[in-house]
Amino acid sequence: MSALKVISFQRFMKSFGAMPWGTSKTYGEIAKELNAPPQAAQNVGQAMAKNPLPLLIPCHRVLAAGGKPGGFSAEGGVKTKLQMLVLEGLFKDQPKPEQASLF
């Protein structure tokens, strides 16, 4: 059973919507907030890839461990994620994406 199957979807998505402009969390921090085991961080990332409301649920603000950008499933991939984070002041210079765009 997936570590996140025991977490209500509503609680899970609420944790993303609670991130104000210019702030970020890691996948692991979100898993910890939801009292999920550390390995649930990967499940958090998979759930974010399925985010149907990216303008309302700011999945671009969720980063990989160490503040690295991680992935991004929207058009433009990680490059788009980094541009959004730069606009919010989270990165002064765009780091090189670790994952190539899927589009």
Active site residues: 59
3-class secondary-structure state, position 45:
helix
Place of tokens 């609680």: 11
Rounded Cα–Cα distance for residues 84 and 91 (Å)? 9
Rounded Cα–Cα distance for residues 22 and 73 (Å)? 20
Q: What is the separation of C-alpha 20 from the centre of its chain, rounded to a whole number of angstroms?
A: 13
